[in-house]
């Protein structure tokens, strides 16, 4: 099951070191349909992560309305998984222990833990590394563990904050393929943040472009309905689209 997102009139201010207030985001409106993969594309420092923090509940001091909704009224709090730029694994727990940590936090019954660990570690190709500690794995493997951790709680909403930008190019290409293959299996709602136009075109159904901050907001929306799924890296239509997206992005830097 997936959820929709509605953000209306969102604004966020930060207190700077000298006491003045810095308005990083304003007039942000964004609707995301259930099961849609939407990418927020913008230069560094435009407040993309700020938006994700508000959605995840990490930040509650903002102006405007943020709704994560199910069709059923009064349903329980939606299950959200958050993927960060770094793997953010607990180094003192094994790979399996890290996935169990998320399952525990998401209140998944203990009886389901072994099957879920097995399934998602298999899905990211790390089934034989369940008893390793994170520091014994490479950076790419650690990020795969964090993807398995995110999917293992079967989230209704996946928030991803530049999860592949710290990886080398080949690893990042593979991880995007992996992400899409996992996502296409049951289409959870995804809000993906990046500054990489290639990535945004390859992955998403729709791109929203933000201008550089402060006073950042969404400037343009680009639908990618014309690109077939499953996506491949050598689709010429994608290259054309990426050139257009990059040109749009450059206008707002």
Partner 1 sequence: MKSRLFVGAVPRLASVAMLLTIWYAAAWLPAKPLLPPPHQVLIYLAQDIQKPEIWKHLGVTLMRIFLGFALSMAIAIPFGIALGFSAFARHLFGSWVVIGLMIPSLVFIILAYTSIGLNEFAAVVAAALAVVWVLTINIWESAKAVDVKLIQMARGFGLSSVRIVTSVVLPQLAASLMASARFGLGLVWKMVLFVELLGRSNGIGYQIEYYHQLFDLGRVLEYTVFFVAIMLLIEVVVLGGIERRLFRWRPAARLA
- d(Cα 251, Cα 114) in Å, to the nearest integer? 49
Q: Is 106 in the site for partner 1 (CB under 8 A)?
A: yes
Q: Is 248 in the site for partner 1 (CB under 8 A)?
A: no
* Comparison of 159 and 179: residue with beta carbon closer to partner 1: 159
Phi, psi of 220, rounded to the nearest 5 degrees: -155, 150
**Contact yes or no for 56/150 (Cβ under 8 A):** no
- d(Cα 226, Cα 235) in Å, to the nearest integer? 12
* Comparison of 133 and 198: residue with beta carbon closer to partner 1: 133
Instruction: Tell me: cis bond preceding 7? Omega within 30 of 0 counts.
Output: no
Q: DSSP secondary-structure letter at 54?
A: H
Q: Is 105 in the site for partner 1 (CB under 8 A)?
A: yes
* Rama region for 237: left / alpha / beta (φ>0; ψ in -120 to 50; rest): alpha
x/- binding map, residues 169-208, to partner 1, per CB under 8 A?
----------------------------------------
x/- binding map, residues 29-58, to partner 1, per CB under 8 A?
---------------------------xxx
* Comparison of 87 and 213: residue with beta carbon closer to partner 1: 87
x/- binding map, residues 116-145, to partner 1, per CB under 8 A?
-----------------xxxx---------
How far, rounded to the nearest angstrom, does the alpha carbon of residue 244 sit from its chain's CA centroid? Answer: 23
Site for partner 1 in 61-100 (CB under 8 A): 77, 79-82, 84, 86, 88, 90-94
């Amino acid at each position: 099951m997936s959820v929709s997102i509605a953000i209306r009139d969102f604004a966020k201010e930060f207190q700077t070191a000298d006491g003045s207030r810095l308005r990083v985001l304003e007039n942000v409106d964004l609707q995301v349909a259930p099961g849609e993969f939407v990418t927020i594309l913008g230069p560094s420092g435009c407040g993309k992560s700020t938006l994700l923090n508000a959605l995840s509940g990490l930040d509650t001091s903002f102006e405007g309305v943020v709704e994560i909704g199910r069709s059923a009224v009064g349903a329980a709090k939606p299950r959200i998984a958050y993927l960060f730029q770094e793997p953010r694994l607990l180094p003192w727990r094994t790979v399996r222990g890290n996935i169990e940590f998320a399952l525990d936090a998401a209140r998944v019954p203990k009886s389901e833990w072994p099957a879920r660990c097995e399934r998602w570690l298999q899905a990211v190709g790390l089934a034989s590394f369940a008893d390793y500690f994170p520091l014994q794995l490479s950076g790419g493997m650690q990020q795969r563990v964090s993807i398995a951790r995110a999917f293992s709680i079967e989230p209704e909403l996946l928030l991803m904050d530049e999860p592949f930008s710290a990886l080398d190019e080949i690893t990042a290409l593979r991880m995007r393929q992996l992400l899409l293959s996992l996502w296409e299996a049951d289409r959870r709602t995804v809000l993906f943040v990046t500054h990489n136009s290639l990535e945004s075109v390859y992955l998403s159904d729709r791109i929203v472009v933000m201008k550089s901050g402060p006073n950042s907001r969404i400037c343009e929306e680009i639908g990618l309905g014309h690109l077939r799924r499953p996506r491949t890296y050598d689709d010429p239509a994608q290259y054309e689209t990426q050139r257009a997206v990059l040109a749009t992005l450059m206008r707002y830097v």
